[in-house]
Chains A and B, each alone.
Chain A
Amino acid sequence: MDNEPQFFETNAAPGVVGQPLSRVDGWAKVTGQARYSAEYNQLPGLVHAVLKTSDVAKGRVTSIDTSAAQRQPGVLAIFTHENLPKLAKTPNNPDDRKAFASSPMSFFPMASDQVHYAGQPVAMVVADTLEHAQYAATLLKVNIAAEVPVSSYLDPKATSYVPKNVKGTAGVTKRGDAQAAFRSAPVQLTATYHHATNHHNPMEPGATTAHWEAPDRLTVYDTTQGVSETQKTLAAMLGLATEQVRVVTKYLGGGFGCKAWVWPHVVLAPLAAKAVGRPVKLVLTRPQQFTGMGHREEQEQTLRLGATKEGKLLGIVHEKTSTTSPWDDYAETNSRIINMLYALPAFESTYHLAKASVMTSTSTRAPGDMPGSFAIECSMDDLAYQLGLDPIQVRLLNYAEKDATNGHPWSSKSLKQCYARGAELFGWSKRNPKNGQTRQGKLLVGYGMATASYPVHNSVGNARVRLYADGRAVVQAGATDLGTGTYTIITQVAADALGVPPENVRFELGDTILPTTQWSGGSTAAGRVSSSVYLAAQEVWQKLIKAAVMDKKSPLYGAKAADVVMEKGRLQLKADPGKGEAFGEVMKRASLSDVEGTAQGRYGSVYKEPGATADANMNKEEKEAAAGYSMHAFGTHFCEVHVDPELGTVRVARWVSVMSAGRILNPKTARSQVIGGAIFGIGSALMEQTVRDPNLARYTNADLASYHVPVNADIPNMTVDFIDEHDPHVNAMGVKGIGEISIVGVTAAVANAVFHATGRRLRSLPMTPDKVLEALRQPA
């Protein structure tokens, strides 16, 4: 698609793209006009569903006495495994699952008497008010013949195995002979890293409002990162055609991966609505959020790193052990980033899983790359200290000029500039090369840094642009804005592409009646949707140019279409910009009230492959081989921590992130993305952990009072900068995503700073005071 117009060439003039435009949806949000999925309360006859979940982690439901609940005022229906309407297709059936665009686990609760995890739904009460439903649910007497659960891979009862596949990656992968490279390496480092279970905990919990507008027409207002994937999956599970299901998500209060999937409650709400013949709203409680939409699994990784005496990597052997559910071989693929981050000649990776009485874990901000970066970036830090090198120096020494996993050049990579800029902004040169040497009163002061990277995932989607003669425009794509700024950046792109001010553009998203596009996840939305909209606007221009050159009254009459360009809403000759006219004039004479353009935008290696179809499971290696480029965003984090050696507390005192991610559409929303990711990572580094009781396999801290996320007082002023990058291979806009990369490397940066402060390496997250004190008891 070499003749496809590119943003770089056709719109070089400065516009609103790249400007720190404030959120176009900000006013609606702060005034409460932004309607979230649990706020469609005006639906006629709306009633409420409440889930009753299992107290125990394993067993069989022997009986559910619903009589007391049934007698409560307002109760319309009570569903258990005995009377829940059957699904047309169910995740329990592997053949059925193939029809799902989005299914997070091979299990659907309440389809049988089986209880496989604490918090599993075992009954659902529907009542006229939320209070009636909640109270009736407390009156259900659920009897479960409890069995002894397995709490995690650490449970002595757990047995581990090497799966054939995890998330499309083989259980064992080898590139070169990493074992031999490690064995013969002059410098050998072996370390094991532990990660606690983490939960996404978006502010907005999972919520689904289901409205059957007709027996064959279902509208669902859902908290989903992908309306289209949810539409297809719901249709399959409910036995409807795709077009018979409409999914709406106008606003999302955070997703972080947990809203990327059709979880049980998303299906239960329409089942209940159908049965009672009224719209049903189902909102997860905060405790249910902990067992309703997945989590990041607890895990440990052992990294064996071999290097030369000069510090050049020779080979890495990586093993990960983690907990999975009774039905799925699921693990975050930590190995990906370890394999590609440096010029690494040989790599081997093995995944070990142990099945436990938990639901399947799921995508959580930068799945795989986030924990993987902790292991590789702490080990690189170890290598630097062991050899007396600066941590940046050891990374530059192993700088990957091309992708070692496939030999391809990068579509763009500005990591060296990120290191340099970050070091400058942070004042890295003031770092004492020795650890454990810097004090501020009683506090130990440490500097740490780490590399970040996140791949460009292939993604394709459509958009429609309608330009009116009065200069206003409506732009549409069935994308979702997770709260990250999609409304705003796409408004900016459309404004520039149409040559109209951003206040003239209304961007509509979050609805399956709009042009179909993929989910917002894996940092694909900005690159894909911006490209779709940009290209759709080009189609508008092509139509207008055609109209102008054929219009005898136009100054452009008779010109070759290829010689005409659009500049700030004006059609003019490329060679003679004075000759031209405003697009409104053309439309007026042609009696066109509006002109519409549609286009498919492509992100990643599919960009240059017009025949390719979008598929989240598409083999990235094959696509990249065809494209000839490896595509990743890169960046770096620097931080200063203060460690209290007597009280064990770690506080982050300064933070600098520098990212290179192609064209930055809006430095304000981009900065918010980066600080959000870094704060998410600081939480994982220092405080976030969900604990399952080792005997009962039930979470002991499933609420936001005891599952600690950072508060404002934990976070210093953060400095964020971007390296300008021109990437003509990644998509028409040269945009790479920044949502995921911003968390990658964060935990390592903090741990490396703690090492610099204390001389002790903490390899178990979160680094809570107990672990810090324990480490400080050990010799440096």
Chain B
Amino acid sequence: MNDFSYTQAASAKEATGRLKDQAQAAYIAGGTTLLDLMKANLQEHPQLVDINLLPFKGIEQTKDGLRIGALERMSVVGEHPLVVQAFPAISQSLLLAASPQLRNMASIGGNILQRTRCGYFRDAAFPCNKRVPGSGCPAQTGDNHNLAILGVSDSCIANSYPGDLSVALAAFDAVLTLENAKGKQRRVPLTEFYLLPGTTPQKETVLEPGELIVAVTIPTAAHTQRSTYLKVRERSSYAYALASAAVGLDVQAGTIRAARVALGGVGAQPWRSREAEQALVGQPATDATFRAAAAAALRGAQPREHNRYKVELAQNTLVRALQQVAAG
């Protein structure tokens, strides 16, 4: 790791101002992603700006829905009664992630910005288009067992966001509030926040240099309350998803009135599946409907040699999640 300076910002203005002065500086909140990347020499920053004092806190119901400050910690949000009761999928996505120690440190904003676990990205000895544009993507013909099958390109097949929370946020129409150096705020739906790799996998989000995530807001609805997050992995805890599904259903008299579906572990980004939702809405809440929705969700899959199984696994995961929500 390189030497760096560290300063604590007392306000958003001070924080963004520091990054304006020093473009290579980085914000640090919990540090659970950033420090890993710096220790592995995958990111180098001459300066770290600690944003933990910023007032991006609070978990509250607003007229737009549940608003979560970007500096709240994963464990706090995951265990908050409002979240547990009205947004079970979001609570589960947080509590099934990482370890208790990491959840106690990691912020919501940092979680949304965590970077891929693709082994080729995480080891600077490998070529990687995401890390060094134009250097190549050995994962295409290499160890792609854990990598994405939806939204991928010939440049990159990484699950650019490997985690869980944003999968649930993508499903439930979450909107991010961002603030730039001028103190100007803008609202970006989470589904438009991440970028597909295309030919520029190094560009991962629409976040502008120096811009901060202030909060995330999730509209409350019947389908957020009747929701679940199902995560499939190789061990029972402390592992990234091979496939996961965040689903919410509004079922009335056996018919699905509204549906929200997003998949994790299989997409180049948290994978909202409006195709699956269309296959669900207006249909009876039956296994046949769920199967059709799952097939629709994976229709565009582009598996490689070692992640072909994810096509079936993701469908089964989605069906199981839908069954659980429909039954509950």
Q: Which residues of A contact B (CB under 8 A)?
A: 55-56, 118, 131, 134-135, 138, 287, 646-649, 651, 686-687, 691, 693-696, 698-703, 705-706, 708, 710-714, 766, 768-770, 773-774
User: B242 to A695, Cβ gap below 8 A?
Assistant: no
In whole Å, how far is A136's beta carbon from the nearest beta carbon of chain B? 11
Separation in Å of the B122 CB from the closest CB of chain A? 7
B234 adjacent to chain A (CB < 8 Å) = yes
Which residues from B are CB-within-8-Å of A705? 117
Q: How far is the CA of A551 from the CA of B237 in the complex (A)?
A: 69
Q: Are B235 and A711 touching (Cβ within 8 A)?
A: yes
Kindly state whether residue B20 has any CB partner on chain A within 8 Å: no
Listed A/B pairs (10) with beta-carbon separation below 8 Å: A134-B1, A647-B316, A647-B320, A696-B138, A696-B142, A700-B119, A701-B143, A710-B235, A769-B309, A773-B309
Contact between chains at B235 and A708 (CB < 8 Å): yes
Q: Give the interface of B toward A (CB within 8 A).
A: 1-3, 41, 117, 119-120, 122-123, 125-126, 138, 141-143, 145-146, 232, 234-239, 242, 306, 309, 312-313, 316-317, 319-320
Residues of A close to B317: CB separation below 8 A? 647
Would you call B235 and A687 a contact (CB within 8 A)? yes
Interface centre among A648, A651, A694, by most chain B C-beta atoms within 10 angstroms, is: A648
- Nearest B residue to A705 by beta-carbon distance? B117
Q: Check B126–A696 contact: CB distance below 8 A.
A: yes
Q: Which B residues are in CB contact (< 8 Å) with A118?
A: 125
In the assembly, what is the distance between CA of A55 and CA of B132, in Å? 15
Tell me if B313 and A770 are in contact (CB < 8 A): yes
In the complex with contacts A138-B41, A647-B320, A693-B142 CB distance below 8 A? yes
Per the bound structure, the CA–CA distance linking A698 and B120 in Å amounts to 10
Supposing A705-B117, A713-B236, A713-B237 touch, asked if A135 and B126 sit within 8 A by C-beta, the answer is no
Name the distance in Å between B169's Cβ and chain A's nearest Cβ. 23
Give the nearest-CB partner of B119 in chain A: A700
Measured between beta carbons, the chain B residues less than 8 angstroms from A651 are: 236
Which of A647, A703, A711 has a CB less than 8 Å from the CB of B313?
Answer: A647
Count, A-B residue pairs, CB within 8 A: 97
Q: Which 4 A-B pairs have the closest CB atoms?
A: A700-B119, A55-B125, A713-B236, A770-B309
* Residue in A closest to B323 when the chains form the complex, CB atoms: A442
CB distance from B328 to the nearest CB of A (A): 15
Given A698-B125, A774-B309, check contact A769 B232 (CB 8 Å).
yes
- Are B143's CB and A700's CB within 8 A? yes
Q: Check B232 against A649 for contact (C-beta < 8 Å).
A: yes
CA distance A262 to B263 in the complex (A): 48
Chain A neighbourhood of B316, CB < 8 A: 646-647, 773
A706 and B319 alpha carbons, distance in the complex (Å): 27
Whether B236 pairs with A698 at a CB distance below 8 angstroms is: no
The reply to whether B123 and A695 form a contact with Cβ atoms under 8 Å apart is no
Residues of A within 8 A of B143 (CB): 691, 693-694, 700-701
Q: Which of A135, A694, A706 contacts B1 (CB 8 A)?
A: A135
In the bound complex, residues from chain A placing their C-beta under 8 Å from that of B41 are 138
B126 CB contact (under 8 Å) in A698, A710, A769: A698
Residues of B within 8 A of A694 (CB): 141-143
B123 and A702: CB pair below 8 A? yes
Q: Considering the chains assembled together, what is the distance between the CA atoms of A99 and B313 in angstroms?
A: 55
Q: A698-B125, A770-B309 are in contact. List 8 more A-B contacts (CB 8 A).
A: A56-B125, A287-B123, A687-B235, A698-B123, A700-B120, A708-B239, A714-B235, A773-B312
The residue of chain B having its C-beta at the shortest distance from the C-beta of A766 within the complex is B234
Q: Which residue of B lies closest to A702 (CB)?
A: B123
Contacts of B142 in A (CB 8 A): 693-696, 700
Bound complex: CA A693 to CA B145 (Å): 11
Residue of A nearest to B234 (CB): A687
Is B237 in contact with A703, judged by CB distance below 8 angstroms? no
Whether B309 and A701, one on each chain, are in contact in the complex, defined by CB atoms closer than 8 angstroms, is no
Shortest distance in angstroms between B255's beta carbon and chain A's nearest beta carbon?
25
Of A138, A647, A700, which contacts B123 at CB under 8 A?
A700
Contacts of B123 in A (CB 8 A): 287, 698, 700, 702
Which chain B residues lie closer than 8 Å to A649 at the CB level? 232
The residues of B that contact A706 with a CB separation of less than 8 Å are: 117, 119, 122, 146
| Chain B residue contacts of A702, Cβ below 8 A | 123
What is the bound-complex CA distance between A56 and B138, given in angstroms? 13
Measured CA separation A548–B133 after assembly (Å): 86
Q: Which residues of A sit under 8 angstroms from B313, Cβ to Cβ?
A: 647-648, 769-770, 773
A694 to B123, CA, bound (A): 16
**CA A701 – CA B143 in complex, angstroms?**
9
Q: Looking across the interface, which residue of chain B has its beta carbon closest to that of A704?
A: B238
- Is the pair B141, A135 in contact by a Cβ cutoff of 8 Å? no
Partner among B138, B236, B242, B319 whose Cβ is within 8 Å of the Cβ of A693: B138
Known A-B contacts A647-B316, A647-B317, A687-B235; A135 and B309 likewise in contact (beta carbons under 8 Å):
no
CB of B138 within 8 A of CB of A708, answer no
Asked if B237 and A711 make an inter-chain contact with CB atoms under 8 angstroms apart, the answer reads yes
Interface centre among A693, A699, A710 (most CB of B within 10 A): A693
Q: Chain A nearest CB: distance from B137 CB in Å? A: 12
Given the known interface contacts A138-B41, A774-B309, the answer about A686 and B119 at a Cβ–Cβ threshold of 8 Å is no
- State whether A135 and B3 are in contact (beta carbons under 8 Å apart), knowing that A711-B238, A770-B145 are contacts in the complex: yes
A530 vs B271: C-alpha distance in the bound complex, in angstroms?
61
Q: Is the pair B126, A768 in contact by a Cβ cutoff of 8 Å? A: no
A708–B219 alpha-carbon span in the complex (Å): 37
Q: Which residues of B contact A646 (CB under 8 A)?
A: 316, 319-320
Name the residue on B nearest A645 (C-beta).
Answer: B316
Give the complex CA separation of A647 and B243 in angstroms: 9
Whether B145 contacts A691 by the Cβ 8 Å rule is: yes
Closest partner residue, chain B, to A696 (CB atom): B138
The answer for the CA separation of A138 and B44 in the assembled complex, in Å, is 12
Complexed CA–CA distance, A699 and B138 (Å): 12
A131 to B142: give the CA distance in the assembly, Å.
34
Q: How far is the CA of A691 from the CA of B320 in the complex (A)?
A: 30
Indicate if the CB atoms of B239 and A695 lie closer than 8 Å: no
Q: Which residues of A contact B119 (CB under 8 A)?
A: 691, 699-701, 706
Instruction: Find B234's partner among A691, A703, A769 (CB 8 Å cutoff).
Output: A769
Distance between Cα atoms of A695 and B137 in the complex (Å): 12
Q: With A and B bound together, what is the CA distance between A714 and B120 in angstroms?
A: 28
**Whole-angstrom CA separation of A703 from B238 in the bound complex:** 13
Complex CA gap A598/B145 in Å reads: 57
Question: In the complex, what distance in Å separates the CA atom of A695 from the CA atom of B138?
Answer: 8
CB distance from B42 to the nearest CB of A (A): 11
Minimum CB–CB distance for A654 against chain B, Å: 15
Contacts of A647 in B (CB 8 A): 232, 313, 316-317, 320
Question: In the complex the two chains form, what is the Cα distance from A766 to B235 in whole Å?
Answer: 12
Complex Cα distance, B41 from A648, in Å, reads 36
Residue of A nearest to B320 (CB): A646
A131 to B146, CA, bound (A): 33
Instruction: List chain A residues, Cβ under 8 A from B125.
Output: 55-56, 118, 698
The CA-CA distance from A693 to B312 in the complex, in Å, is 25
The chain A residue with its CB closest to the CB of B231 is: A647
| B236 proximity list for chain A (CB < 8 A) | 651, 711, 713-714
Q: Which residues on B sit within 8 Å (CB–CB) of A713?
A: 235-237
Task: State A119–B275 Cα separation when bound (angstroms).
Answer: 45
Which single residue of chain A is at the shortest CB-CB distance from B41? A138
Q: How far is the CB of A382 from chain B (nearest CB, A)?
A: 25
Quote the shortest CB–CB distance from B98 to chain A (angstroms). 10
A690, chain B: closest CB distance, angstroms: 10
- Chain A residue at minimal CB-CB distance from B238: A711
Which residues in A have their C-beta under 8 angstroms from that of B235? 686-687, 708, 710-711, 713-714
A696–B123 Cα distance when bound, in Å, is 13
**Nearest-CB distance from B103 to chain A (Å)?**
15
Q: Which residues in B have their C-beta under 8 angstroms from that of A134?
A: 1
Q: Considering residues B141, B145, B232, B309, which has the most beta carbons from chain A within 10 angstroms of its beta carbon? A: B309
The answer for the CA separation of A770 and B310 in the assembled complex, in Å, is: 8
In the bound assembly, the distance between CA atoms of A131 and B38 in angstroms comes to: 13
User: Across the interface, which residues of A come within 8 angstroms of B145, CB to CB?
Assistant: 691, 770
Q: In the assembled complex, which residues on chain A have CB atoms less than 8 Å from the CB atom of B122? A: 703, 706
Q: How far is the CA of A694 from the CA of B309 in the complex (A)?
A: 19
Distance from A513 Cβ to chain B, minimum over Cβ atoms (Å): 38
A135 & B2 in contact (Cβ 8 Å cutoff): yes
